[in-house]
């Protein structure tokens, strides 16, 4: 695909690649990730409905970003049509655990508050220094 600049010149359209050949549940994805890190370090996966980062530097930058600019939508498992097993849900209910959203299931101020509390220790481990 191409797009036209204001001067009328044609240029390739810059878009995030879509990885139709990525199976997140494949047991040995090493070759795929080696190619992805080289050719498409960030790609969109339609089946997961999420972007996938393949390089350490990109993952580290995302995990140490404390700005709170995060979208919970890809993390919510409902879009995958995956539900916890009834047996697992019964064990959780019988143990008295309330069903509440996790850190990756919320956005905005609630996410920022929860992330601030939980991230203090992990930023030091991942980023090498306390923020």
Q: Is the pLDDT of residue 130 over 50?
A: no
Same domain assignment for residues 5 and 66: no
Q: Which residues of 13-36 are buried (b: 16+ CB within 10 A; e: fewer)?
A: eeeeeebeebeeeeeeeeebeeeb
Same domain assignment for residues 39 and 77: no
Containing structural domain, residue 110: 62-131
Angle made by CA atoms 34, 67, 123, in degrees to the nearest 5:
60
Same domain assignment for residues 128 and 98: yes
Predicted TM-score (pTM) above 0.85: no
pLDDT band at 1 (very low <50, low <70, confident <90, very high): very low
Same domain assignment for residues 124 and 71: yes
Q: Strand 10-12 to strand 2-4: parallel, antiparallel, or no bridges (unpaired)?
A: antiparallel
Rounded-to-integer distance, Cα 79 and Cα 99, Å: 18
pLDDT in tens, 66-120: 676 656 554 544 444 556 778 888 888 899 887 777 776 777 788 788 777 777 6
* End position of a domain, from candidates 13, 34, 54: 54
Rounded-to-integer distance, Cα 74 and Cα 89, Å: 22
Same domain assignment for residues 97 and 128: yes
What pLDDT sits at residue 22? 75
Same domain assignment for residues 74 and 25: no
Same domain assignment for residues 129 and 83: yes
Number of domains observed in the structure of the chain = 2
- The whole-chain average pLDDT of the chain stands at 72
């Amino acid at each position: 695909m191409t797009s036209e600049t204001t001067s009328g010149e044609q240029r390739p359209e810059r878009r995030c690649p879509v990885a139709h050949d990525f199976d997140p549940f494949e047991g040995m994805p090493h070759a795929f990730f080696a190619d992805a890190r080289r050719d498409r370090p960030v790609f969109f996966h339609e089946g997961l409905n999420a972007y996938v980062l393949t390089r350490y530097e990109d993952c580290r930058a995302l995990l140490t970003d404390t700005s709170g600019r995060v979208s919970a939508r890809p993390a919510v498992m409902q879009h995958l049509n995956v539900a916890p097993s009834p047996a697992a849900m019964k064990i959780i209910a019988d143990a008295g655990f309330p069903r509440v959203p996790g850190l990756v299931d919320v956005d905005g101020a609630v996410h920022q508050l929860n992330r601030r509390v939980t991230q203090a220790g992990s930023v030091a481990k991942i980023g090498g220094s306390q923020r």
